Structure 1
Amino acid sequence: MSSSDFKTLVQRFYALQEERVEAYKLFNEGHEAYLRTGPHYDFDHYKQLVHEITKAFSGISKEMLHIKDQLDQDFDRSDLAEHIDQLQNKEKVKLELTAKLQLAKQTAQDHPDDQGCQEKVQEIRQDIVKNQQALSEILQDFKYDSEEPE
């Protein structure tokens, strides 16, 4: 495999991360729209959004794992494969936290006088920020390591 194949693989990795960012943006916008339909929520519409987003994330993850395998096997870059493993794990946590946050926001909206609900939303937001920082570090490590000469 050539260095141009390697560069193409790395570029595809970054393109997939951009797709993830866009999917999260759509997911969050869709959830905000869903919350605006309360108190009689349009769950069917939201359920369809969740289905589409799940399909998108699943496709991205499968392709990421394929890139990971190629980097490991075809280019002997287990360091980069490990970064992708770490990234996939943190992305899984991010998705779980995002779902928790969406549920907490709906609960807080439905029970505006319950201070515990508001605190739960803030707590989950802090967890998301911490997770995002970890994701950024992994991406930074990937960038640094992928730019090193082979």
Structure 2
Amino acid sequence: MVPSDFKALIQRFYHLQSERVETYQLFDEGHEAYLRTGPHYDFDHYKQLVHEITQAFCGISKEMLEIKEKLHHQFDRPALSEHIEKLQSKEKHKLELTARLELARRRAQDHPGGRALSGNIQEIKHEIIKNKEALSEVLQDFKYDSEEFD
């Protein structure tokens, strides 16, 4: 494989990661819109959004795993492959946390004044921040290792 193929693969990785960030933004905006429809929530519209977001995340993950395999087998870059493995795991956890946060926010909206609910929201937000920090570290390691041979 020629170096330009490697660079194109790395660029595609970063493009997919950007798409993932944009998808999270759409998800957050959609959830905000959903909460504004309360107390008689427009669940059908929100369910469609969740379906579309899920498809987007699945497509991104599938392509990330293909890049991971190419980096490992075609370019003999197991360290980069491992970074993608870690990234995928952290992204999965971030999505789980995001879903938990959305449920907690809905419960808090439905039961205003509940201290336990607002405490739960803060706890989940803190976990998301820690997760984002860990994601940043993995991306920094990936960047360092991908530029190592330039």
| TM-score under structure 2 length normalisation | 0.99
Given the alignment of the two structures, is residue 30 of structure 1 paired with residue 34 of structure 2, yes or no?
A: no
Aligned to 1:59: 59
* Partner residue, 2:104: 104
Distance 2:41 2:149 in 1: 54
Aligned length: 150
Mark the runs of 5 or more structure 1 residues left unpaired by the alignment.
Answer: none
| CA distance, structure 2, for counterparts of residue 105 and residue 81 of structure 1 | 36
Residue 69 of structure 1 corresponds to: 69
Distance (whole Å) between structure 1 residues aligned to residue 60 and residue 149 of structure 2: 27
The two structures, once aligned, show a CA RMSD in angstroms of: 0.6
Deviation at 1:113, TM superposition (A): 1.5
The SS at the match of 2:116 is: helix
Q: Deviations over 1:59-78 (max 9, x none)?
A: 00000000000000000000
Q: Which runs of 4+ in 1 moved over 4 A?
A: none
2 CA distance for matches of 1:9 and 1:63?
Answer: 11
2:20 equivalent in structure 1: 20
- Amino acid paired to 1:24: Y
| Deviation at residue 79 of structure 1 after TM alignment | 0.1
**Deviation per CA, 1:128-148, whole angstroms, max 9, x where unpaired?**
000000000000000000001
Q: Unpaired runs of 5+ in structure 2?
A: none
Letter of the aligned partner of 2:18 in structure 1? Answer: E
Identity of aligned residues (%): 69
Aligned residue in 1 for 2:113: 113
What's the TM-score once normalised by structure 1's chain length? 0.99
